[in-house]
Chain A
Amino acid sequence: MKRILILFAIAAGLVPQWASASEPLKVVTTIETLADLARRVGGEKVSVESLSHGYQDPHYVEAKPNLTISLHRADLLIRVGLDLEIGWLPILVTESRNDRIQPGQLGDLDTSTLVEVLDIPTTQLTRAMGDIHPKGNPHFWIPPVNAVRIAKGIAERLKQLRPEAKDYFEAQFAKFLSDIKGRAREWEAKAKPLAGMKVVTYHKSWTYVSKWLKLEEVSYVEIKPGIPPSPDHLLRLVALIKAEKVSALLMEDYYNKAIAQEVAGQTGAKLVPMPSDVGARPGVKTYFDLVDAILRNLDGVIR
């Protein structure tokens, strides 16, 4: 009788099943770039799934119940942090009934703790400024230095979760580092002519890329996050773009382009939609594709 009860409890999922050492660790990430980095570092010892797709706005993912199932089984949740996922992830994590990935557990990796965070507000915030991230700008995963930091953080966490595979994860990370360094000269060469380029971005979400490539951000189209720009602001922006001779208007693929097209049309600045995450476009399948695509798009402006 007792044995039957135990079997039933296991079948019902009432007894936690820790993945055995031979099984791959189940890693769930909130965005696809983190999934790609986790795959590179975790290799064959992880199975990775992303909750959102690169062509989605990561602020507004719907908390669909099937995402609960993915989180329910996860050994490790890798997220961006800085409240990027605040509108949908907390509710899913609570409903996942998975204590391994609850905030503060070993199975919860907030990658914003790994990088140097920019745009941390130093003045009093109000929502009159729009839906601003009070803890700093969460769009940090594109510059290679940050990708290395994130990959290293993932490797360290995987080592803690699977100490017996320590050497494997270290070797995987070393391979990633050598891969990315293998591209460094080429990226640097492509980045060099971009330095000093004046740009207007749709949201203040390219800060990290601008800092890396030394782009000069002159202003923003949707200056208050989440609130469509006022006609006043757009008129001033058009004048500013003309006066400053801004060459490009950068925006993520997932935003509606109607307003930006209008501004670009009136000023002669080139509208440059860019992928901001792996999976944003069919051809952007890896982190390396993402950096290549961004550099290629920006290169198109100066040519």
Chain B
Amino acid sequence: MHLQSKILALVSVACWHVAVFAQPMPANGGGAGQDRGVAARTGARVATADAGMPVPTLTDQLDAAARRPIASAASAPDGGTLEPSLSDQLDAAAGKPVPATGAPPPAAAAAEGGSRFFQSLNPDISVILTGAAGYGQRAPLFLAGDDPDLKGGTSDHSAGITLQELEVAFQSIVDPYFRADVFLTIPNMSGLEIEEAFLTTTSLPAIQVKAGIFRSGFGRENGMHLHVQDFVQRPLINSYLGPDGLRPPGAQVSWLLPLPFFVQLTGEVFSVAAPDMLANFASPEPVSTFGGGRRTDLTYAGELKFFVPTSESLSVFGGLNVATGVTPGFAEGDTTLYQGARSMLYGADLYVKYKPPNQAVTYISLAWTSEYFLRTIGATGGNAGLTDGGFYTQLVLQIARRWFVGLRQDLLGWPSSEVQPLNSRTTLNLTFYPSEFSKLRGSVQYDALDSQASRLQQIAPSPVNSFAAYLQFEVAIGAHGAHKF
């Protein structure tokens, strides 16, 4: 091919009166490409399909290049104007047909002059790598699956380096009716998991159906992957939804209300698997809200989300959530308490963002997120019902183009119950984004526990109140992802 194009170029230069020779040549064809480059730089006309002008010999082109002062090289020669007037150019532009619609016609697009790029029907692939190093006076309680797990017990130091998560994503449009998204994850080097794998309908009017394994729309934090979170660890209330959040196999129907503003109603049904190991009174694992009972005991969730664009700079995005299922209960000695009891989870979330749309004015932005969860577990087997809850509120302030400061207050067990003692956590962090595809984060946090809580006396964390610090890095390679609001 290369040799062929060179020969063709030589032949063409030799017989320059053959018009429109350059057109069938590849754009990067060796010799011809150079000729065209010289021609372009000297301002001489390059043969194009619509003009059909003869190309001067290389000798003439070199002479012209040497003669012409560099400063005016780009300008059109004054004498004998070769270039058509703007008005004629506009007529020519209006005269050319536009490419056909529907499926992109590759041949037509190429003839238009250059929009030929490599076509691939492979899904978009991206890989996200999150590493963390840290030190804690003791291991944190109620750890989420993708929190950095530095091992260590509840009464000894937790320190080390971990690959917090490796995520691989495959995303593509399936056909005119569906798109599919698959996210595989290896959290803390603990084995391959399906973080999400679902289809989404694109052609149903007003409603949208998701099916497969996906993050529930319950609350705000649960729907987020690790790499879009503003802190090293998930909020503590994540434990109410399960160690990995609420992302079991299921189906979702969401409906965009026919209103002039954004209100979305979502209904979900999930088949939550029972936990690998039942929480017990002496372990730091949280008591599972869902995943108990028989296989036919499904978990149902419903969410109402609304968006208020208060002004161009200030937006308010909120949600009201409810979910119900059956708890697997927890072990105390040889007995299992609350096994099969109906559990209810209520949630409210609010996201307020201030970001002026014009960066030329300022880079400053401020995002405030708060979520509250309340859980009830019904009375069974002579045990009275339980009610507990949790809350977090966080502020993330963008202080410069690539720098963000975050502050979060977590309260898990607020109100507390026999199975959910009070755990307060205060986190302060600083994040630097070298580019859109990488970030570095330093974080310090302080955990305070209610030492009088009966369950904590059995877990016996030491020290009761502990300090921890983390360094985290994250890089993303591959396809450019879009960001949810």
Query: Which residues of the other chain, B, contact A72 by a CB distance below 8 angstroms?
Result: 206, 256
* Binary contact track A103-141/B, C-beta < 8 Å → 1, others 0: 111100100111111101010000100110011100000
Query: Which residues of the other chain, A, contact B483 by a CB distance below 8 angstroms?
Result: 63, 87-88, 91
Are B101 and A157 closer than 8 Å at their CB atoms?
yes
Q: Is the C-beta of B204 less than 8 angstroms from some C-beta in chain A?
A: yes
A interface majority secondary structure:
loop
Are B205 and A104 closer than 8 Å at their CB atoms?
no
Would A16 and B205 be within 8 Å (CB), given that A91-B482, A195-B76, A214-B74 are in contact? yes
Query: Which residues of the other chain, B, contact A16 by a CB distance below 8 angstroms?
Result: 205
B112 CB contact (under 8 Å) in A64, A103, A113, A198:
A113
Query: Which residues of the other chain, A, contact B104 by a CB distance below 8 angstroms?
Result: 104, 113
Closest to B308 in A: A66
Query: Which residues of the other chain, B, contact A88 by a CB distance below 8 angstroms?
Result: 482-483
Are B480 and A83 closer than 8 Å at their CB atoms?
yes
Interface centre among A66, A130, A157, A215 (most CB of B within 10 A): A66
Are B255 and A12 closer than 8 Å at their CB atoms?
yes
B75 CB contact (under 8 Å) in A117, A146, A153, A196:
A196
The interface stretch among B15-23, B53-61, B89-97, B342-350 is B89-97
Are B117 and A104 closer than 8 Å at their CB atoms?
no
The interface stretch among B1-9, B230-238, B432-440, B464-472 is B432-440
Query: Which residues of the other chain, A, contact B264 by a CB distance below 8 angstroms?
Result: 65
CA distance in complex: A157, B114 (Å): 22
Would A177 and B434 be within 8 Å (CB), given that A83-B480, A122-B28, A256-B359 are in contact? no
Q: Is the C-beta of A152 less than 8 angstroms from some C-beta in chain B?
A: yes
* Binary contact track A228-253/B, C-beta < 8 Å → 1, others 0: 10000000000000000000000001
The interface stretch among A19-27, A31-39, A51-59, A262-270 is A51-59
Are B258 and A65 closer than 8 Å at their CB atoms?
no
CA distance in complex: A11, B257 (Å): 9
Q: Within the complex, what minimum Cβ distance (angstroms) separates A121 from chain B?
A: 9
Q: Is the C-beta of B161 less than 8 angstroms from some C-beta in chain A?
A: no
B208 CB contact (under 8 Å) in A95, A144, A181:
A95
Query: Which residues of the other chain, B, contact A68 by a CB distance below 8 angstroms?
Result: 256, 262
Query: Which residues of the other chain, B, contact A163 by a CB distance below 8 angstroms?
Result: none
CA distance in complex: A120, B72 (Å): 26
Total interface residues on A, CB under 8 Å, equals 86
Are B360 and A255 closer than 8 Å at their CB atoms?
yes
Q: Is the C-beta of A149 less than 8 angstroms from some C-beta in chain B?
A: yes
Q: Is the C-beta of A13 less than 8 angstroms from some C-beta in chain B?
A: yes
A105 CB contact (under 8 Å) in B28, B117, B176:
B176
Chain B residues 25-53 with CB under 8 Å of chain A are: 27-28
Q: Is the C-beta of A185 less than 8 angstroms from some C-beta in chain B?
A: yes
Q: Within the complex, what minimum Cβ distance (angstroms) separates A234 from chain B?
A: 16
B74 CB contact (under 8 Å) in A97, A104, A180, A216:
A216
B contacts, CB < 8 Å to A: 27-28, 71-76, 85-87, 89-91, 93-94, 96, 98-99, 101-104, 109, 112-117, 173, 176, 179, 200, 202-208, 255-258, 260-262, 264, 305, 307, 309, 312, 315, 317, 353, 355, 357-360, 363, 401-402, 434-437, 477, 480-485
Counting from the closest, the 7 A-B pairs by CB-CB distance are A195-B75, A99-B203, A13-B206, A65-B307, A13-B258, A116-B113, A184-B87
Extra contacts besides A131-B480, A149-B93 (12): CB < 8 Å: A87-B482, A104-B104, A106-B101, A112-B115, A113-B104, A116-B112, A117-B115, A118-B114, A181-B90, A191-B86, A226-B436, A227-B435
What would 17 A/B residue contacts be, using CB atoms closer than 8 Å? Answer: A12-B255, A62-B353, A65-B307, A97-B204, A104-B104, A112-B115, A114-B98, A116-B114, A120-B117, A136-B114, A146-B93, A156-B98, A157-B101, A216-B74, A228-B401, A255-B359, A273-B360
